[in-house]
Amino acid sequence: MFLIETKIIADEKPKLKNPVALVGLPGIGNIGRIAVGYLVHELKAKKFAELYSPYFFPFVMIHNDMIHTLRNEFYYWKSPKGRDLILLIGDCQTYDPKGHYEVSGKILDFLKGLGCKEIITIGGFSTGKVTEKPKVFAIATDPEMAKTLKKYEVETKVSGQIGTIVGASGLLVGMGRINGLKGFVLLGETSGFPIITDPTAAEAVLVVLQKVISIKVDLTKLEEKVKAMHDFIKKLEDIQSQAMEQMQKGGKKPEDLKYIG
């Protein structure tokens, strides 16, 4: 039956060499979304699958005068020499706690089916302070991986504090480990102020990421690309915010959610 559950629709099943998955979904500062979106663009990665979920907001967007269903998108990039990449970006994450587990579970199953054994998710680490040289944190699921990460310019200590990573970035790595995928989260330090997109932190993450996966992309166009993404992402966030508010504050008919920009 269609869309009782989260569903991934693939156009092809690419044969990939020991692929690493890079996940950049919307989140704090949209650091992951920008960083992986930029890689998709610069590497001219090929889209091969889409994920739809009944746990996404129940509306379609009108973008460029065309109807667009909320989705996440899978791309792949065949490396001329090193490991191939699977890149996951998207319009949104689910608004539903249980949905986070379902969406993450479906993604992990799909990645495993493509022979993927390693996953890197990218997010933001909100500090409440503006910084010019944002740090990058790398948090793994096992001590061995944590040791490997120390050779890059990242922080692997979170000052002994217990923190959390909410949503797909955290669950994909956390649940991945239980499913036989190794991985870690790369978090760009960001103020957490409502600036929507933080290209500086995204760049800091990309600098590290390139070394980790041994690729080299031109970062000079990043700021310009971010501007282009900014409006779409901002509008999308505003709409979801409003919808969330209406859904939770209650006392509204579902029809009140129906409007057009």
The answer to whether 151 contacts a copy of itself (rule: CB under 8 A) is no
> In the complex, what is the shortest distance from the CB of residue 152 to a copy of itself, in angstroms, rounded to a whole number?
15
> In the complex, what is the shortest distance from the CB of residue 178 to a copy of itself, in angstroms, rounded to a whole number?
7
Beta carbons of 20 and 120 less than 8 angstroms apart: yes
Stretch that binds a copy of itself, among 11-19, 22-30, 78-86, 212-220 (CB under 8 A): 22-30
Question: Closer to a copy of itself at the Cβ: 218 or 255?
Answer: 255
- Of 237, 177, 173, the C-alpha closest to 33 is 237
The answer to whether 171 contacts a copy of itself (rule: CB under 8 A) is yes
Tell me the CA distances in angstroms from 247 to 58, 75, 96, 256, one per residue in order.
Answer: 11, 32, 12, 10
Stretch that binds a copy of itself, among 14-22, 88-96, 206-214, 219-227 (CB under 8 A): 88-96
The answer to whether 18 contacts a copy of itself (rule: CB under 8 A) is no
User: Quick one: 74 exposed, middle or buried, by C-beta within 10 A (0-12, 13-18, 19+)?
Assistant: buried
Using CA atoms, how far apart are residues 235 and 255, in angstroms rounded to an integer?
20
Using CA atoms, how far apart are residues 251 and 242, in angstroms rounded to an integer?
14
Beta carbons of 186 and 138 less than 8 angstroms apart: yes
Tell me the CA distances in angstroms from 104 to 48, 59, 98, 157, 194, one per residue in order.
Answer: 18, 21, 10, 26, 26
Q: Which of 122, 175, 205, 226 binds a copy of itself (CB under 8 A)?
A: 175
DSSP secondary-structure letter at 44?
T
> In the complex, what is the shortest distance from the CB of residue 216 to a copy of itself, in angstroms, rounded to a whole number?
28
Question: Closer to a copy of itself at the Cβ: 173 or 215?
Answer: 173
- Of 208, 165, 61, 179, the C-alpha closest to 117 is 179
Of 181-220, binders to a copy of itself (CB under 8 A) are: 184-185, 187, 192
C-alpha 89: how far from chain center:
5
Stretch that binds a copy of itself, among 11-19, 65-73, 79-87, 210-218 (CB under 8 A): 65-73
Q: Which of 10, 46, 105, 207 binds a copy of itself (CB under 8 A)?
A: 105
Question: Closer to a copy of itself at the Cβ: 77 or 125?
Answer: 125
Of 215-254, binders to a copy of itself (CB under 8 A) are: 232, 235-237, 239-241, 243-245, 247-254
Q: Which of 81, 98, 133, 151 binds a copy of itself (CB under 8 A)?
A: 98
Single-letter amino acid code for the residue at 201 = A
The answer to whether 174 contacts a copy of itself (rule: CB under 8 A) is yes
